[in-house]
Amino acid sequence: MATILQPPRTEIERERPLGHTGRSGGGGRDLVPEGGDLRLVKDRPGEPTRTGIWVGLAAIAMSFAALTSALFVREGSGYSDWTHISLPRILWFNTSALILSSVALERARHSVADFMRGSQASRSMPMAWLNATLSLGLLFVLGQYFAWLQLRSEGLYLPTNPNSSFFYVLTGVHAIHVLGGLGGLARVMLKFRSAARPLRRSTMDATSYYWHFMGLLWVYLLFVLWLKL
């Protein structure tokens, strides 16, 4: 995740992000030098896509913090109706798929960087890793669906008991976010193949931050759902 992509060399990154680079001096880091010679201002501005994704992740983290806090309050409130459900085994398979998808995305990011540097001529390797990420992500969502089917077969529906309610809500809202991430990945793949609207470094990075965060979030949610207070 900490991989830093090198500055662009190929036509794929020729596009400048949103036109900001030409106009913003990164006000937060550079004063206008004495004499006002702006040619001395070298600093590049921050990239809104990267900032935006971190801000968005903060909001998502806050939402899930609220939901899981509600679960803790509800579970710890001492009412006798809390029935701790046993988690469907398929969740462990799903978890593995999501973690592997993160690994695949990191490989994809390296590969895309190699291609952009020119050290790799073909798009096929980056696309293969991106495809693997997308497939594993879809597998995760499909697996979650099977987990819900399994619970239904046990007679555990959304309103059956407080724990099943929280299970469906947490996994459902997370799955919606993962689907959003899959949409983002599809967009990255389209841009990577497109000459008209080429892929930007920041888009690749932002999508991968989001995807890795979904993985981390899932591990946290799984722990919360598994935990018995």
Nearer to other proteins, 58 or 142 (CB): 58
Interface map 99-138 toward other proteins (x if CB under 8 A): ----------------------------------------
Tell me: does residue 158 bind other proteins (CB under 8 A): yes
Q: With CB under 8 A as the contact rule, which of the stretches 47-55, 99-107, 122-130, 181-189 interacts with other proteins?
A: 47-55
Integer Cα distance of 158 and 152 in angstroms = 9
Tell me: does residue 40 bind other proteins (CB under 8 A): no
Tell me: does residue 165 bind other proteins (CB under 8 A): yes
Interface map 172-201 toward other proteins (x if CB under 8 A): -x----------------------------
**Minimal distance in Å, beta carbon 25 to other proteins?**
3
Nearer to other proteins, 162 or 184 (CB): 162
**Minimal distance in Å, beta carbon 33 to other proteins?**
10
Integer Cα distance of 81 and 127 in angstroms = 50
**Minimal distance in Å, beta carbon 119 to other proteins?**
29
DSSP the chain: ----PPPP-SGGG-S-GGGTTTT---TTT-PPPGGG-GGG--PPPPPHHHHHHHHHHHHHHHHHHHHHHHHHHHHTT--TT--PPPPPTHHHHHHHHHHHHHHHHHHHHHHHHHHHHTS---SHHHHHHHHHHHHHHHHHHHHHHHHHHHHHHTT--TTTSHHHHHHHHHHHHHHHHHHHHHHHHHHHHHHHH-SSSPPPHHHHHHHHHHHHHHHHHHHHHHHHHH---
Contact footprint for other proteins (CB under 8 A)? 16, 18-20, 22-28, 30-32, 36, 38, 41, 45-48, 51-52, 55-56, 58-60, 62-67, 70, 73-74, 77, 79-81, 158-159, 161-162, 165, 169, 173
